[in-house]
Structures are given as C-alpha cells and as structure tokens.
Structure 1
Amino acid sequence: MLAIQNLHIEFGARVIFKDLSFTVHPKERIAFAGHNGAGKSTLMKCIAGILKPNGGKLSKPKHCDIGYLPQEGIHIHGITLWDEVESAFAEAKAMQKDIDEMSEKLHHLDPRSAPFSDLLNQIGELELKLHDADPGLIKPRMESVLTGLGFKRSDFTRDCGEFSGGWQMRIALAKLLLAQPDVLLLDEPTNHLDIDSQKWMESYLVNYPGAILIISHDLALLDMLTTRTMAFHHGRAEEYAGNYSFYVKESVLRKEIQLKLYKSQQREIKQTKDFINRFRATASKAKQVQSRIKQLEKIEVIELEEDDAVMSFKFPNPPASGQSVAVLEKACKSYGKINIFQDFDFEVTRGERLAIVGPNGAGKSTFCRLITGQEEPDSGTHTFGHKAAVSFFSQNHADELDPDITVLECAESAASRENAPLARNLLGCFLFRGDDVFKKIGVLSGGERSRVALVCMLLRPANFLILDEPTNHLDIQSQEVLQNALKDYPGSYMIVSHNRSFLDPIVTKTLEFRQGHAPRTFAGNITYYLEKIEEEKNAAKGVAAAAPAPNKTSTPGVNRKEQRRIEAEQRKKRNDVLPPLKRELEELEKNIAEYEAGQATLTTHMSDPETAGDSDKMQQASAAYQVLADKLEKAFSQWGEVSDKIEKLEAELSL
C-alpha cells in the first residue's frame, strides 16, 4: 500500500534519517516509538506530504488516500461544527449532486435517444460508486462519531471558533475518522481526550478499515491497538513484530545479543593482533602474519550504540503535614445556570494518592481550584490542614512563564534554596539537555513550555501536589522519571489524567466527576474504576426490565407514605412512556433492515447487464434506490433520537 525507500532527512548538520526504508500493508497497525526528537513526527509529516525529504521517495497506489492528525495547531472558525465535519463526505455529496442534476436532465431528453442512454449509464456508474459511501448512513455516522468524541447535540450548530484548542483537535479527529483514508496518521491523538472519549476512540480504531500509523505515549493504547513497532534511535529505525510491550522486551534481548557478539568479536580481534605482534619478525610465520593482517582489515567491526542517559529524580523530603491536608465541607459551585457541585464533602488525607477522572466540563478543574484554595466555593467551606504546603500544575501555567528569561533561569527562580542545585538535573529529565537550557522561554513550543512549567512546579517544596494532565507533552522515558519520583514521594497528590499506564502503579483511589451526578470515589486505581463502571453498566442492563429495589428510589426527607406515592408515579411514568418508545425503536430497526435489504437488491439489479442496457429499467431502479436512500437516512435519524429519549428516561427512573 505504501513504500518508503531510502528516505533521507536532515536539518542543517543534523541527520534525522539516512536510507530509511519500510513498507505499510493494508489494515496494519504500526506504532512509531522513540524519545522526543528522534524524528517520529518528522517522518509522519513526510508521509503526509507536508514535509519534503532531502532524498529517497515515498510510493503509493494512485487511489491511496492518506489522512494526518498533527499534535496541535489546528484552528477552525467561520463554519459550524456539523458543516465542518460533514465536509469529510465532500466527494460523496458531489456525486449525489451530479446524480440529481443528471436525473433532472433526463426528464428533458427523448428516452429513445442516444444522449438519454449515455446519461442513464453515467447515472448508473455514479450510483454504484455512491453505494460504497452509504449516503443514507452519513448523518447517523456523523452523530455517532461526534457524540463518541464528547460533543453534545447542542454543539452541532455552534461555530467551530467557539471551541477551545483541545476541542478543535477533536473536530479534526472526527472529520478524519469519518473520511476514512486508506492510511491514517495519528500524532498523539489522545492528548485532548477524556477517558470516556478515549475508550470510544480505541474501540473505533480497532475496527478501522484502513492502515494506522500512530505516535502515542499512552502505553495502554499502543499495546491494545498495534501489532508492529518502528523504533527510531540515533537516525536508524528497527522493526519489531509486536506491540510496544513486545518491543521493550525484544529490544533488551537484541542488545544482549549484540553485546555478546561484540565481546566475541573483540576477543577474536585481540587474538589476531596478539598473533601478528608476536610473530611479525619471525620469517617462518610471515605468510600467516600477512594472512591475519588481511583478515583483520576485512572484519566489519560491531559498534555498540550508547544508550540514552537514564536520569532519575527524587523529591526532596517535604515538610510533614497533619493527618488532614485539605477539606471541603458542604461546598457548592455554579457558573450561571450550570451547577458543578452541591453540598459536596471531601477530605484529602496525608499520603493520599488520588486520580481524578471524568469527561471534560464535568468539574475536574473546578474541583482542583477549590481544593487548592485558588477559588472559593459559592457556599460551604474550604480549609487546609496543619502545615499543608500546596503546589499546583495546570495547563495555563505554561502561558504565565516569563518569555524573556532562559529555561534554566526560569527553573532556578522557581526553586527553593535547597532545591536550586537540582534544577539542571530535573530539566534534563524532562528533555532540556545541553544548550537547550539556555533557550528563551519565548521561543519554545507549547509542549516545551508545559514541560518547563512542570519542572518549576516540582522544584517547589510541597507536601500536597495537584497535577493537571502532566504527561501530555512527555515522552515515555520522561513519564517513567516522573512516575518513579511519585512512587517514592512521601506527601499527598492528586492527578487529573486519562493515561492509565502512568496512573495505575501510583494511585490507590479514583475520584469520578460526571455531569448531572454527584462526584463518586472508588477505592482503587484506574483499571479498578473502569471494571466497576463496566459492572454497573452490565448490572443496569440486567435489571432494566425489573422493578427497582425499594431503597433504590428512596428520597431523603420524606415519610413512607410520600415515598410510596413517588414510587407509584415513577412506575406509572415507566409503564406509560417507555414501552411505546421501545416499540417505536424496534419498528425503526425493522424498517432500517428492510431498506438496507432493498438497496442491496437494487444494486445487484442495476449491475445486471440486461438492466444496464435497458434505459427504462435503469431509470426506474435508480429512482427506487434514491427513494430508499432518503427513507434510510430519515429512519437512522429517528432511531438516534428515540434511543436518546430511552436512555435519558431510564437514567431518570433509575432503571
């Protein structure tokens, strides 16, 4: 499908790749691995046609489409979300428009004329091409992808310019997934997704019909999705026939084998040199000495590559806090009509390791600002415990750095006197090495500024850390540095993140925020939390038809008589409203199946040479196919609306 041959890329004196060659086959899932700066994104831009290589070539079939999602930098405005995403189907829309225009022309032509027959054949060819695009499924597919990525139906008519940078990337991802290019290039696609949207995307990518090339620092995603890994290191690429975990194990094994070969060769070279030096002046051994010299010259010396320096960071012992670090009591918070918290009680205790999860906009960042005292609740109280010292890393901290100072000056100014000597080492841990520390903050990319802000936060003495998406701009090695430091950290911390492989080993409790529901705590890590959520969903499906347990619908503050009245009203509403909706849903599903079967029959009929040669039959079949396509689109739209109503009612009635 795609062939990269002898690719050569360089920036000034620095060679990124030299003679890089590999192929991509249909439906392959390939991970690009390697530290930041190894050339992964550069290679992806070359494949996408954005960057021109210095040498070599990329070959692909004529009709092979390549789609690319960059890490950041997409800004769309002046068009609604729906219209922007719908443009992914521009080709199908154009074909449908041509069919409509040609069909209109048919009415003004003599059915027995040659122009009529030619036009009818053109319509037939376009109908067959359009069938592969399933025009009747365009609207429901768009709704499915947009809601899966976290957009609400009320967002569909909003201008794209109203959405933040992270949501802009979701718009680009939605459009790309719907376009379904033959080769999908994804550069850190989960950076801007919450845990629900990430799970949806993972499921979507597993069933994606084309090939996928992906760069990600989310190990769980790579292990679940990919079956081949391209590892980039010192301008070279090595292939591994497995996912990321396979690559890690196999690379260690390859290094061990290489080391053994190197030692064996060095022994052989030493023995040969010793023989030459010993018998160089012996006439009877002259022929053998010359033979050994020639043998030595022909040896292709094995060179061991130096591993990247593995840096480590250990938090200085923070001042000891009291048992209670921070407390919210009866906290309420609203923004206009949007209620975030209502009578929310929460306590952070000494040594707590907490993950914070939930969809964007559910209240995670608001909670962080409240628990750190940066923002006051509308009512209720917030108090810090004895000797609590807070350090907070948020995404907007990167924008507050002084652009006129160097990276090193920024880190040293943020550090305490005791931690100042650690600044240079910690910057190295987070990819600022050598002369990089003397760059001005103003010339750094957004990701680089985020890493500087994280370093500054870690250098401040604190016994209570709050980290908001700390791994978004870290490569896997830097993630491991931070993860290992947090494992040994004696204070308390809370981390907002969707990165399961990063969180699972270092958190013991999960706090979930979800719109319309009170925050909930789960006594385990992210994997435990996801298992519990799945169990809840399965349990809800299993008892959906059964009456709820008495305590399920119990309402605080009412007597038993009033409680029975409330339950009776719920039963009446359930019996009056849900059954008709479910019958309507079943009828729609039946109609959809019939329409799809009818389209398949008509497609076969139009492909028949006898039909294609008969203009009247072809016109009738084409008109019938269009009628079914319109009915199918309407049925799918109704099906989505009815499904939403049922889901909403079941949630309200605690089914």
Structure 2
Amino acid sequence: MIRLDNISKHNGHRVIFIEASAALQKGEKIGLVGPNGAGKTTLFRLITGQEEPDEGHVLTDRGVTIGFFNQDVGEMAGRSAVAEVMDGAGPVAEIGTELAGLEAAMCDPERFDELETILERFGEVQARFEELGGYALEGRAREVLHGLGFSQEMMDGDVGRLSGGWKMRVALARILLMKPDVMLLDEPSNHLDLESLIWLEQFLATYDGALLMTSHDRAFMNRIINKVIEIDGGVLTSFSGDYEFYEQQRALNEKQQQAQFDRQQAMLAKEVAFIERFKARASHAAQVQSRVKKLDKIDRVEPPKRRQALSFTFPQAPRSGDAVVNLRNVDKRYGSRVIYQGLDLLIRRQERCCVLGVNGAGKSTLLKLVTGTTEPDAGTVTLGGSVKMGYFAQHAMDLLDGERTVFETLNDAFPLAGQGSLRALAGGFGFSGDDVEKSCRVLSGGEKARLVMALMLYDPPNFLVLDEPTNHLDIATKEMLIAALSDYDGTMLFVSHDRHFLAALSNRVLELGPDGLHRYDGGYTEYVARTGREAPGLHQ
C-alpha cells in the first residue's frame, strides 16, 4: 500500500535517512520505534506528502486513503465535539453537508422555481448518503467519543471550551470514525486515561486497515502491532512480531554483532602483530605483502550501536514512622458534586498504593488531599512522624523558570551540591553534554517531566506522591524510572495509566468507585486476576 524506496533525507547538516527502504502492506499493524530525534515524525510527514525526500521515492497505491493523527491538532471552536468528529469522516461528511444544504433549499421560497431540480439532486445525494452509512454516522461518532471518555454533555458542548488534551481526543476520534485504508498515529496513547486506552486498544486490534504508529506505552503497542520498524542512524530495519519480540531480537542481534566484531578484532590484531614482527625481514616480505593486501580487502564489522542507557540510583531516604498518612472521615465536594463522604484511609510505610478510578472519580483529588494542596470540607488528613513528602503534579512542569537552564535549575535547588554530582544527576535523567545548557523554555514535555523528577528525587523524600508521572516519558525513561523506583524503600501513592508501570511498582490497589473506596492487597497484576478487569468499569 505504501512503499519507501531508497529514501534519503537531511535536515541541515543532520542526516535523518540514508537510502532507507520499508513497506506498509494491507493488514499490517506496525510500531515505529527509535530514539528521540531519530526521525519518526519526519517519516510520517514524508508519507503524508508534507515533506519530500532528498532522494528516493515514497510510493502510495492509487486510491488509498490515509488518516494522520499527530499532537498538533490546530484550532477547534464554534461547533460541538460530535459535529467536529463527523466533519472528518471523509466523503460521507461532504455529502451530509450537501444534503443539509439541499434540505434548506427545499424550504426556501425564493428558490421555489428550482424545486424540481433540487428534489432530483436531493434524491441522488440522499441515496448516496444512505449507501455510505450516513444516517448511522452520528451514532458512530458518539460511540467513538464515548469510548474515548466523553460524556454526552461534552459531546454536545462547544469544542473550543475543551482543554488541549480533550481536543486531542476529538482529533483522534475524527481519524477513527473516518476508518481510512491506512492510519498513521503519532502517540495516540498520550492524554488518555486507562479506560480510554483499553477501548482504543480494542478498536485498533479489530481495525482491518493498515496501521503505522508510535507510542511510549509498551503494553499498548504489544497488544496491537504485528511488526516493528526501527529508525536508527538513518536506517530502517523491520522486525516481524510485537514490541517484546523486537526487544529480544534486537538484544540478540546486538550480541551476535558484538561477538562477530570481537572475533574480527582478534583476527586483525593477530595479522597486524605478524606484519609488525616480520616487516623488516626480507625472507618474509612476500608473506607480509600478502597479509597487508588481505587486511585492505576485509569488510570491517562495525561494533553494535549502544543506546545510551539512563540510570538513576536513589540515595537512602530517611525512615518515616509506620503510619505515613491517615485520612479520617473526610468529605470533599466541588459545588453540588460529592467526591468523598466519610472517607477513611490509612497508608503505611513501604506501601506502594496505585489509585484506579474512572474519569472524575477523584484520583487527583485524593492526591491533593494527601499533599495538602486542597483542604477537606470535613474530617482530617494527618501526616505521620518523620514523613518527608515529594509530590509530582502535572502543573509542576509549568512552574519551571523558562529563562534558567537545566543545570542552573538543579543548582538553584541544591546550591551546596558539587558540580560533578549535579551533572551525574542530569545525566541519569537524560541530560548529557550540552543538554544541561538548554533553557527550560525550549524543553519538550518529556524533558520537563524528567527535570522535575530529578529535582524531586535527588534529595529523596520517604513518601512519594505521583500524579501521572509517565505521561510525557519515552519507553527508555520509563524503564529507568521503574528500575530506580523498584529499589526505592519509601512509601508511594500514585496514579498512572501505564499498565507496565502499575504492574511493576504497586503492592496495593485503591479503587475509587461510585459506591466508595475499595482496597485490594497485592499489586495491579493481582487486582486484574482477582477482578477480571484491567480498569474500573471494564470487563474482560
């Protein structure tokens, strides 16, 4: 359906692709992977014709429809979310607009003399609209929006009043409703809660077109894709199988290439030693010349490209008392909406509680009550003895001073720390070399999240409260964070929609439902096994 044939692309002096080739066939669901800046977004832009390759060709079969979702959703305002989504449904949306125009024309007394022509055209357009499933379109649009977490009120309200994250969901719903032959999805799992994520997963698993997507959610990728295309060093490499298979295969290929490289290096060292030893002896001149020629002709094996592995080790956190936080008979409401009534909750030392609940259940409110950023209407919230708290909130990234560099931000927070230890801290969170001189204003969402975490974890609290800490993080940074937090000996209370993160770190589940708080001993994996669902309100 789509072929990339020996494409090369430069951005200034930077090489993005060198004679790279790949194909996307009908029925294939491909995960596009590679380090940040490798060229994933450029590849999407080449396929959609927004950019041209410097050399080579991007070939798309005749008549193939392409739907492209990316993070730049543009302006939306002036109509309902459901109307915005229906507008993206391709030809059926255009025919629907014409049909509405013809209906208005039939009622217009000034066009009475054209009525016969209008009626004839109305009949043709109506038949085509029906054939394309136009009358079911609004129902399908509402179904998709509901799957992505919209209430009826939000569907019918002005799309312009929605936050950026919800507008992204509207843009995604447009592509899903369109059901093109090929879907290009750049980070569709961003900004989705767990319930919407699982709904999207099921939708894409049954979608019969071709799919090319990027995602920082490995569980999401694993359940959908059947092929991986890796971008690295300007080259495209294809792997059949899911993300887990790709990781294993990549590690195996790396191991084999390293062994091949080591064998060749040993052989070359032996030949060079022979040449050095006998080059001055006339009796060995022919042998020396023969070996020099042999060395010149050998194809050199490159060592495998090693990705920079991020790693951060927690300094020992001071020990807290056994009771870390105690909520007694807590009430909380927003206007007439009751969030909590008579809530009792005790979190003990070394518990790692993940909080689950549908949109609006009060997950973030619980974290705000615990951290003291919002007050209960009634009841008490008491921190235990020697508790030192660290709170990662979504708005924390907005509080960074845009004029300060990464290094200055760390230095401001820890003026007594040595330069070496701050640079090591920055490196552990992915800011190596000149990256520490970047001003906070130009950082991406992922970079800001990493910087906020570095600030929070350098002088470690013994009670971590994390609200969606993985939202903007790529897979490598998530793995680093999971590895670091696995060794953390403090207490955790966190909200996340990343199932890999939930399963790796939780040892207790707090589920917020319409009938109150349910507690489950054991982590997220045990919760799924016990309840038969991956998220509240969903059944497997």
- TM-score, normalised with respect to structure 1: 0.75
Deviation at 1:72, TM superposition (A): 5.2
Q: What's the counterpart of residue 14 of structure 1? A: 14
Higher strand share: 2
* Residue 523 (1) aligns with residue 521 (2): yes
Moved more, 48-57 or 35-44: 48-57
2:157 is aligned to 158
Structure 2 CA distance for partners of 1:177 and 1:274, relative to 1, 3 Å = same
> Could you tell me how far apart the structure 1 residues matched to 2:414 and 2:506 are?
26
**Letter of the structure 2 residue corresponding to residue 165 of structure 1:** G
2 CA distance for matches of 1:260 and 1:502? Answer: 33
Alpha-carbon offset, residue 239 of structure 1: 1.7
1:577-592 equivalence runs, <5 A: none
- The one-character-per-residue Cα deviations of 1:153-174 (angstroms, maximum 9, x if unpaired) are 1222111121112111111111
Report if the CA contact (8 A) 1:411-1:423 is conserved.
yes
Matches within 5 A, 1:476-625: 476-514=475-513, 516-534=514-532
Displacement of 1:455 in angstroms is 1.9
Task: Could you tell me which runs of 5 or more consecutive residues in structure 2 were left unpaired when the two chains were aligned.
Answer: 107-112
Q: Match for 1:83: what amino acid?
A: A
Change (3 A) 1:322 1:279: closer
Contact 2:96 2:129 (8 Å CA) reproduced: no
Helix, strand or coil at the partner of 1:489: coil
1:302 match: 301
Q: Is the counterpart of residue 397 in structure 1 residue 396 in structure 2?
A: yes
Maintained 8 Å contact 1:416/1:461: no
Q: How does 1:369-518 map to 2 (within 5 A)?
A: 369-415=368-414, 417=416, 422-514=421-513, 516-518=514-516
Cα 1:90–1:306 shift into 2, 3 Å: closer
* Shift in Å, 1:54: 3.5
Tell me the distance in 2 between the aligned counterparts of 1:537 and 1:233: 35
The amino acid across from 1:346 in the alignment is: L
Q: Is the 8 A contact 1:75 1:165 kept in 2?
A: no
Quick check: 1:67–1:176 contact (8 Å CA) kept in 2? yes
Q: Do the aligned partners of residues 41 and 529 (structure 1) sit closer, same or farther apart at CA in structure 2, a change above 3 Å counting? A: farther
Partner of 1:77: 77
> d(CA) in 1 for partners of 2:503 and 2:134?
43
Per the TM alignment, residue 537 of structure 1 is displaced from its structure 2 partner at its CA by 11
Q: Superposition RMSD on alpha carbons, in Å?
A: 3.1
C-alpha distance in 1, partners of 2:322/2:182? Answer: 54
Letter in 1 for 2:347: V
Q: 1:303-322 residue pairs with structure 2 within 5 A?
A: 303-322=302-321
Task: Give secondary structure in 1 for the equivalent of 2:50.
Answer: coil
Q: Secondary structure at the match of 1:198?
A: helix
Give CA-to-partner distance per residue, 1:515-538, whole Å, 9 cap, x none: x33122222322332344437999
Q: Secondary structure at the match of 2:516?
A: coil
Query: How many residue pairs are counted as aligned between the two chains?
Result: 529
Matches within 5 A, 1:212-291: 212-277=211-276, 280=279, 287-291=286-290
Query: How many percent identity over aligned positions?
Result: 37
The verdict on how the C-alpha distance between 1:272 and 1:204 changes in structure 2, with shifts beyond 3 A counting, is same
* Residue 343 of structure 1 pairs with residue 342 of structure 2: yes
- Counterpart CA distance in 2 for 1:71 and 1:304 is 36
Letter in 1 for 2:528: L
* Structure 2 contact 358–536 (Cα < 8 Å) conserved: no
Larger radius of gyration: 1
Partners of 2:448 and 2:527 in 1: CA distance: 32
The 1-side partners of 2:25 and 2:320 are apart by: 57
- Residues 306-315 or 196-205, more deviating: 306-315
Distance 2:289 2:80 in 1: 80
Residue 68 (structure 1) aligns with: 68
| Distance in 2 separating the partners of 1:193 and 1:399 | 20
Give the structure 2 partner of residue 33 of structure 1.
Answer: 33
Query: Which residue of structure 2 aligns with residue 626 of structure 1?
Result: none
Shifted more, 371-380 versus 447-456: the winner is 447-456
What secondary structure, in the 3-state scheme, does the structure 2 residue paired with 1:156 have? helix
Cα contact 1:74–1:168 (8 A) shared by 2 = no
Gap change, CA 1:217 and 1:424, over 3 Å in 2? same
Q: State the distance in 2 between where 1:108 and 1:70 align.
A: 45
TM-superposed deviation, 1:233: 2.5
How big is the shift at 1:338? 1.1
Q: Compared with structure 1, are the counterparts of its residues 55 and 270 closer, same or farther at alpha carbon in structure 2 (3 Å cutoff)?
A: same
Conservation of the 8 A alpha-carbon contact between 2:78 and 2:159: yes
Instruction: Note the C-alpha offset of 1:332.
Output: 0.7
Contact 2:508-2:521 within 8 A present in 1 as well: yes
Report the Cα distance in structure 1 between the residues aligned to 2:530 and 2:511, rounded to whole angstroms. Answer: 12
The alpha carbon displacement at 1:416 in A equals 7.6
Secondary structure of 1:78's aligned partner: coil
Residues 49-86 of structure 1: CA deviation (Å, up to 9, x unaligned): 33444333211023222222223554422221111011
State the 1:310 CA deviation: 2.4
| Residues 331, 378 of structure 1: 8 Å contact kept | yes
Q: CA deviation at 1:246?
A: 0.6
> Match of 1:519, SS?
strand
Alpha-carbon distance between aligned partners in 2 of 1:23 and 1:394, rounded to the nearest angstrom:
41
C-alpha distance in structure 1 between counterparts of 2:410 and 2:375, whole Å: 29
In 1, distance between residues paired with 2:319 and 2:341? 32
Moved more, 232-241 or 284-293: 284-293
Match of 1:603 in 2: none
After superposition, give the CA deviation of every residue in 1:344-376 in whole Å (9 maximum; x if it has no partner). 111111111111222232211111110111211
User: Cα 1:420–1:323, aligned 2, differ >3 Å: closer, same or farther?
Assistant: farther
Shift in alpha-carbon separation, 1:80–1:535, aligned structure 2, 3 A: closer
TM-score by length of 2: 0.90
CA contact (8 A) 1:95 1:130 kept: no
User: Once the two structures are superposed, what CA deviation does each residue of 1:99-138 show, in whole Å capped at 9, x if it has no partner?
Assistant: 8969x999948xxxxxx9xx89x949x957963x322331
